[in-house]
Chain A
Amino acid sequence: MNAFVEIISVALLITDLVLVISGRLLHSIRWVAIQGILLGLLPLLLHESGFGVQMLILAVINLSVKGILLPLLLIRAMRKADVRRELEPFVGYTASLILLLAATAICFGFCRYWNIAPGAASPASVPVAFTTMVTGLFIIIARRKAITQAIGFLIFENGISMFGICMMLEHGLMVELGILLDVFVLVFVMGIALFNINREFSHIDSDKLNSLGDWDLPAQNHKDGEAEQ
């Protein structure tokens, strides 16, 4: 049974790698959905802890919300805002990949040598959870589009929930549900906001929203990514 958890972990790692080099938004959202489904399967494979109701609820919620509902919402937002690609990211794709590889190595080494989570279901799953969180944060930092950042939040949340599932935390379900609600609201608000911002300013590059602030910023002269589509 441990082997299954490991295979799921590896698959999650692969989704992280793919997400960080993927430039097409639809592609990214699909991979996030796959990540959610994998995460939903994970509690079902942890037999040892008993096939509890808690785990079953968690699995169902994860599968339905992260695997289906949120991706659909994101796709809808994407269609409405009429963006398809992440053009000109702050960090290039190959560089992102190399950075993520380094981060993975650090996470693995860190978890191994300081033995962060002795009670985890599988020794491999904790570093993978950390790597997933790092991936999410990295995508939020290094990408330009607001919608990609929503995807980043979702990945980050996946990392947290994987950590929770594997540690089998007490009240894990409650915490999990709380975070999930946050993310859900976030994606929902973003979906609405995106559409309105897009209608108002004809772009959704979040770095350009800086100029909405009260303080004075020097004029930014980024190329308009949307114009090329």
Chain B
Amino acid sequence: MKFEFNHSIIWGISLLISLLICPLLPGIINKVKAFFAGRRGPRLLQLYYDLGKLLCKGAVFSHTTSGVLQLAPVVSLAGLGGCILLFPFGCAASPLAFTGDVILFAYLLALGRVLTVLGALDTGSSFEGMGASREIEFSALAEGALFTVIAFLILITGHFSLSDMLIGFETNQWLRFCAPMPLIFGAFGLVLLTEACRVPVDDPETHLELTMIHEAMILDYGGPDMALIEYGAALKLWLLSSIAVLLVLPVPGSSMFWNILLYFGGVFLMAILIGITESVTARFRMLKVPRMLTGALGFALIAILWIRIFRGGLL
């Protein structure tokens, strides 16, 4: 019982730290990109300053909007709030985890996305409609890849809960299943880039509304609403990067200290990796993204096939 209690404390502390430092991730990515481009780039803490500034501001809403616009960021963040309670922060299983919570996790992310889309449509702007349309297109395709990755994890761990399937397998088990790991990591990486609106799919920094996805949908926000959205995006990026890290990271099991160190180090490493990806690739043409997502699905399916055929899954 005491052991469980310790676990919960570690989980809680890691959760709080994650909530506090998640706005660092976009800063790290930007720093890496600036390094590759030979610039100095914005400060590491830039997003904190932005959030502070936005929270102090008032807001302007369009005549056209009817309340959905204001609702969207709040619901998205509330959905993310549900997500974080299920996530194994610091490699410690969430005390609130239950069988099948991975479905709830994926669908809560979808809730935020749909509300953002509705918020974009609420403004009646053509650019925001365009962004919304693309968001639905890509996320519908990414959903398939995401659930295939989940199926893979179920196959190798036998658990239906997010905490158990991400931290459930130990080093010796990991060696047994490591061969298809690059495939799964690749598949989830592509899902991550799509869901978090990063470069090969979406460019958050382009100056042209026509080529944006996520940024186009939030053109009409300002003030505290914008702060909620920015924070939500950073938190989502943190969560997805954490999944990617825990996906390939074997958990030593015994030492709490190492677990936490590995977790946070891994997430920052992941941010650097995303930064490098963004620096060395250009944004895909929109037509190419569905092909890429089908590729992600293919990767995950082959990984499942591999495990099933050469390892017999759980058998």
Contacts and interface: CB of A to CB of B under 8 A. Distances in A.
State if A and B touch, Cβ cutoff 8 Å: yes
Interface of A: 3, 6-7, 9-11, 13-14, 17-18, 21, 93-94, 97-98, 100-101, 104-105, 108-109, 112, 123-124
Contacts of A13: 183, 302
A10 B301 CA distance: 13
Interface of B: 175, 178-180, 182-183, 186, 290-291, 294-295, 298-299, 301-302, 305-306, 309-310
B182 A10 contact: yes
A11 B182 contact: yes
Nearest to B292: A21
Contacts of B298: 17, 97-98, 100-101
A7 B182 contact: yes
Contact of A112 (B180, B182, B291, B309): B309
Contact of A3 (B179, B186, B301): B179
A101 B291 contact: no
A6 B176 CA distance: 11
Contacts of A18: 295
B180 A108 contact: no
Given A13-B302, A123-B310, A124-B310, A97 B178 contact: no
A151 B305 CA distance: 27
B309 A104 contact: no
Contact of A6 (B179, B186, B294): B179
A10 B180 contact: yes
Contacts of B294: 94, 97-98
A100 B291 CA distance: 13
Residue with the highest number of chain A CB atoms closer than 10 Å, among B175, B179, B299: B179
A116 B299 CA distance: 24
Given A3-B178, A17-B295, A10 B306 contact: yes
Given A3-B178, A101-B298, A104-B305, A14 B183 contact: yes
B291 A93 contact: yes
B291 to A, nearest CB: 5
Given A14-B183, A123-B310, A94 B291 contact: yes
Nearest to B175: A3
Contacts of A124: 179, 306, 310
A89 B37 CA distance: 36
A104 B295 CA distance: 13
Nearest to B303: A10
Contacts of B183: 10, 13-14
Contacts of A93: 291
